[in-house]
Structure 1
Amino acid sequence: MSKTNPGNYFEDFRVGQVIEHATPRTVTDGDRALYGALYPTRFAIPSAASFAASVGLEAWPVEELVGFHIAFGKTVPDVSLNAVANLGYAELRFHRPVVPGDTLSTRSEVIGLKQNSNGKTGVVHVRSTATNQRGEVAIDWARWVMVHKRDVDAPAPETVAPDLAQVVAPADLPVPAGLDFTGYDFVAAGEPHRYGDYELGERIDHVDGVTLTDSEHMMATRLWQNTAKVHFNVDARPDGKRLIYGGHIISMARALSFNGLANAQLIAAINGGSHVAPAFAGDTVHAWTEVLDKAELDAPGVGALRLRLVATRGRDESMTLRGQDGKYADGVLLDLDLWALVPR
């Protein structure tokens, strides 16, 4: 009997199945340092303990996406080890800040299945929940991933499509305990722009770009203990390329968005997201953002901006999301819809 784990294939999943993922992971200050080495991030709260304290946070959190990548990585051996690609996200909420010393554990429930028409792959929907060492929910989200079948002749399961919300309602946005932006230091944060300076429909070209390398994306993916074959093994894809982990593109785009959105300090939720096209070493990632909605929250001095963050291969000064045919424009890598907390 084999003692190794070949990963689950499409026919191994069933709706209602609950998976307790192995190897809990304790967050350290090393994660903060490596995240800053991998991505050009400069947001003040995760960068400076003094700034975090000045806005009422009891402990100095790491960036939200550090927690997400760690929690996501736990799911890979059971959900997406044999994936073709991770396709998208919905209903992702950051319920509480993650701080060094927190230990994250993740469990997932299969909430949807659909075999593709080629009979060789299928799409698996899961809802995952990451809890800390006190059993408190830190992050939860739904995602869908395309997974290979082990046996192309295996019968297709009944199609189940989950009903997922298109947007997290402002009233349901998590706000960290004690957060208070009334004494916000705009000089230290790096930009003067506050809630009222952003208009619905406004588009912001973040200008800067970063060229992807195999060494950096593989280091990042290993940091999160993400074992998906397509990110490391050139034999896993017919083209012999290492696919960049989609979360690497999310973090790169978020970091690039600092230029123009430096005061979008905390991500409260991700409403939805699509990895529109694959990215590979040598691609240069740029980003732009569209303001979709705004909401005033009960926390003192805090507002929320609903933002469409778009990552592109090369800079698109026209900031075009879709062509006249309604399809994504060439070069779009990521379309991410999120809520960020900003000073009012």
Structure 2
Amino acid sequence: MKTNPGRFFEDYTLGETIVHAVPRTVSGGERALYHALYPARGALYSSDAFARGCGLPAAPMDDLIAFHVVFGKTVPDISLNAVANLGYAEGRWLAPVYAGDTLRSESTVIGLKENSNGKSGVVYVRTRGINQRDEAVLEYVRWVMVKKARLEAPAPAAVVPSLAPVVQPEALVLPEELDFSRYDFALAGERHRFADYAVGERIDHVDGVTVEEADHLMATRLWQNTSKVHFDVTQREDGRRLIYGGHVISLARALSFNGLANAQMIVALNGGAHANPCFAGDTVRAWSEVLDRAETATPGVGALRLRLVAVKDGAAPFGLKGADGKYLPEVLLDLDYWALVPV
């Protein structure tokens, strides 16, 4: 048999490392497509001149381009037969990615737990994105619910990894050459700096974007994400394509420009949950909460820990969970990350 139906839950072994196929060289075309798909306007990613003013050799790729490329490589081996991508932890961006870089991915299975229904299980993996110089540019943990193909296959011993609830500020990796001491607030689009944000502050990002089937499919193909639930309507009982969670992340991040235009670089992903499914026709809006602040040793640079929440349609801002502790049905995404801002 030459074709590959993808891995099912019973096909994973604790501790194995999977080298994912098809490295990807990213280019300026990647950036242009990303900015066409999302209302992304971060000055650091849009202008070589602005990036040089911040000490970088050129405008890097948007951080989420690196994430989507690295993530997409893993899908044929990790989540081709997924029911849902459940969460993220311990994510760190370790080096900027520039046009011309080639990215590949490797994942290590760090946890397995069969579900009580015996039809699926949760697979935990730690993934690393690696460039053409064998340098790690990104690492993160994610866990995925994956179908079983053979229901009679014995359940593995349950191993659920202990994961840090937050990447500590001292573990953040900042580009050595980064320098915000001559940061141009006028060109960036907002005057707000590190000291202007208070822990507990909430920001309604105001704008919304209605998800189109064509945009979602283009994005999923762009990142070479082959998960069946995003393409094949027969994979879900309701006959609907599930919007790729990364598409929602990028939409919400782009919408957060209005209020967080100077949150220029994502350097860590503390946690995240795709709380409810998103489908074509849903209108995505976003709000943020400042969870923490940290100074850095890099000139002119501070770090904000932010909660980014994506909601759909006419949801009121700042709603998250009900009295039962469960996410409200209109909440699509709850993402906890660190971003760099000028002081």
State if a TM-score over 0.5 links the two structures: yes
Q: What residue in structure 2 maps to residue 121 of structure 1?
A: 120
1:86-235 alignment to 2 at 5 Å? 86-235=85-234
Q: Is the 8 A contact 2:287 2:317 kept in 1?
A: no
- Say whether residues 1:5 and 2:23 are aligned partners: no
Q: What residue in structure 1 maps to residue 275 of structure 2?
A: 276
Percent identity, aligned pairs only, is 63
Q: Is the 8 A contact 1:205 1:317 kept in 2?
A: no
Whole-angstrom CA distance in 1 between matches of 2:178 and 2:101: 20
Paired residue type of 1:272:
G
Unaligned runs of 5+ in 1: none
Whole-angstrom CA distance in 2 between matches of 1:184 and 1:314: 36
Structure 1 residue matching 2:68: 3-state secondary structure: helix
- Say whether residues 1:327 and 2:320 are aligned partners: no
Q: What residue in structure 2 maps to residue 46 of structure 1?
A: 45
Paired residue type of 2:97:
V
Structure 2 residue matching 1:34: 3-state secondary structure: helix
Whole-angstrom CA distance in 1 between matches of 2:274 and 2:3: 30
Whole-angstrom CA distance in 1 between matches of 2:147 and 2:160: 19
Whole-angstrom CA distance in 2 between matches of 1:48 and 1:55: 11
> How far 1:59 moved relative to its partner?
2.8
Whole-angstrom CA distance in 1 between matches of 2:195 and 2:314: 28
- Say whether residues 1:342 and 2:334 are aligned partners: no
> How far 1:308 moved relative to its partner?
0.3
> How far 1:60 moved relative to its partner?
2.0
Deviations 1:7-30 (A, max 9, x none): 000000011011000110001110
Whole-angstrom CA distance in 2 between matches of 1:266 and 1:86: 24
Paired residue type of 1:302:
V
Whole-angstrom CA distance in 2 between matches of 1:119 and 1:107: 28
> How far 1:320 moved relative to its partner?
1.4
Deviations 1:52-71 (A, max 9, x none): 00000023201000011001
Q: Is the 8 A contact 2:111 2:125 kept in 1?
A: yes
- Say whether residues 1:29 and 2:28 are aligned partners: yes
Whole-angstrom CA distance in 2 between matches of 1:299 and 1:19: 36
CA RMSD of superposed structures (Å): 0.8
Structure 2 residue matching 1:66: 3-state secondary structure: helix
> How far 1:155 moved relative to its partner?
1.2
Q: Is the 8 A contact 2:84 2:146 kept in 1?
A: yes
Deviations 1:177-210 (A, max 9, x none): 2111111100000000000000110000000000
Q: Give me the TM-score of the superposition, normalised by structure 1.
A: 0.99
User: Segments of 4+ in structure 1 off by > 6 A?
Assistant: none
> How far 1:238 moved relative to its partner?
1.1
1:290-309 alignment to 2 at 5 Å? 290-309=289-308
Q: What residue in structure 2 maps to residue 18 of structure 1?
A: 17
Paired residue type of 2:96:
P
Deviations 1:288-308 (A, max 9, x none): 000000000000010000000
Whole-angstrom CA distance in 2 between matches of 1:314 and 1:97: 34
Whole-angstrom CA distance in 2 between matches of 1:333 and 1:42: 22
Q: What residue in structure 2 maps to residue 257 of structure 1?
A: 256
Paired residue type of 1:93:
R
Whole-angstrom CA distance in 1 between matches of 2:316 and 2:198: 19
Aligned length: 343
Deviations 1:185-242 (A, max 9, x none): 0000000000000011000000000000111001000000000000001111111100
> How far 1:162 moved relative to its partner?
0.6
Whole-angstrom CA distance in 1 between matches of 2:72 and 2:316: 34
Q: Give me the TM-score of the superposition, normalised by structure 2.
A: 0.99
- Say whether residues 1:285 and 2:284 are aligned partners: yes
Whole-angstrom CA distance in 1 between matches of 2:199 and 2:66: 30
Structure 1 residue matching 2:336: 3-state secondary structure: strand
Whole-angstrom CA distance in 1 between matches of 2:24 and 2:177: 26
Structure 1 residues 100 and 150, CA, compared in 2 at 3 Å: closer, same or farther? same
Q: Is the 8 A contact 1:75 1:106 kept in 2?
A: yes
Whole-angstrom CA distance in 1 between matches of 2:277 and 2:156: 28
> How far 1:315 moved relative to its partner?
4.3
